[in-house]
Amino acid sequence: MESIPKLTETDLKPWFDKPQLILDCAAQTQKDLAQYGIEFNFSGNAETIYEELFSQIQPQIESLLNKGTSLMEILYRVDVDEAKVKIISRENESYSASITRLILWRELQKVVTRFLLSK
């Protein structure tokens, strides 16, 4: 059995080449974020889906931050590690971009974990 991947870009990068898992990740993301009014469309092209999702979700996260919506509620729903959220304030990208990245990585991690445990 493969080990469960960590929530890092390096560990998750190989899974971006698995089209069905990427589509499952998009569906999981859609399910988790819809209740907060975050909606997006994706082409179904696994090669561009990360960029598609990121470019549509990030501005909505930014808008929610500006409106004072409880970001912690969204992060709790998605199950993003609080320690990771505390670390991102030291990164060079915008806060909303960092949050979006953490959300997408966590959604992929959930899908990959289910895939590995179903083997």
pLDDT at 3 over 70: no
Domain coordinates in residue numbering, the chain:
9-117
CB burial readout 83-115, b (16+ within 10 A) else e: ebbeebeeeeeeebbbbbbbbbbbbbbbbbeee
pLDDT single digits (tens) 70-119: 788 888 999 998 888 888 866 667 888 999 999 998 999 889 888 888 87
Sign of torsion over alpha carbons 42, 77, 86, 39: positive
Report the candidate in 75, 79, 87, 72 with the shortest Cα–Cα distance to residue 110. 79
**Interacting residues of 83 by C-beta distance below 8 A, sequence separation 6+:** none
Write down the pLDDT at residue 32.
92
Confidence of residue 5 (pLDDT cuts 50, 70, 90): low
pLDDT single digits (tens) 33-64: 998 888 898 888 878 888 999 999 999 998 88
Instruction: For residue 27, give the 3-state DSSP assignment.
Output: helix
